[in-house]
Amino acid sequence: MGAQWKAKGKELAANARGRMFGKLAKDIMIAARAGADPASNARLRLVVEQARKVSMPKETLERAIKKGAGLTGEAVHFEHVIYEGFAPHQVPVMVECLTDNVNRTAPEMRVLFRKGHLGTSGSVAWDFNHVGMIEAEPTGGSAADAELAAIEAGAQDFEPGEEEGTTTFLTDPGDLDLVSRALPAQGFTVLSAKLGYKAKNPVDPAKLTPSQLEEVEAFLAAIDANDDVQNIFAGLGG
């Protein structure tokens, strides 16, 4: 979780799946600005693969592509905003939002951060590295060597992924696409690729009591439930 916080367990509830589809639809719309054909748009292809993996309805996926590419006549404008601060017990947090109305999002974030502390720009960012994050799994269940793959593909580092059997490869921000395209030749199938934030000094969960850890998780889950929030990067050890 020093890399990216995700809700524990499989999100199977209807409202949770709806939020997940909504976030993916935004990613698809933004990626589709560079072209509606996944075959010639690497960023769109990766997001479409993510959407299919979680069974996003075909109609929803196609509508997002057309809307983002400007094929529906609707104007699509999302502003990328990052909110920095602390969850309870001084756990640093970076919250990445895509919003069509900052005047709505900003006060909502202030309310959500009441159980923690909302900082100013730069107040927490210094304690995170801006990196490329590539989640991948061995192709066809092969026993591919993650360390060798990282070296050969040009990744900076690697660590166990969020899902069992996956690996997260960390890159320089500018090398994200290069490493993503190099990993298949090293025996890995890329599941997702995005820019994100990895904590330099994550808080050790063992230093928190069970009730304190629950408070942190509840705080992060409440933020994640906001429709404008795309990603949460928390400085909490795995």
pLDDT tens readout for residues 120-159: 999 999 999 999 999 999 987 677 899 999 999 999 999 9
Q: What sign has the CA pseudo-torsion 105, 103, 32, 21? A: positive
Going along the chain from its start, the domains and CATH numbers come out as 14-68 (1.10.10.200)
Alpha carbon 169 to its chain's center? 14
Amino acid letter, 86:
F
The confidence score (pLDDT) of residue 1 equals 47
Predicted confidence at residue 11, as pLDDT, reads 47
pLDDT of residue 19: 82
Low-confidence ranges of the chain (pLDDT < 50): 1, 10-12
CB 125 within 8 A of CB 164: no
Closest CA to 93 of 199, 205, 177, 10: 199
Separation of alpha carbons 126 and 132, rounded Å: 17
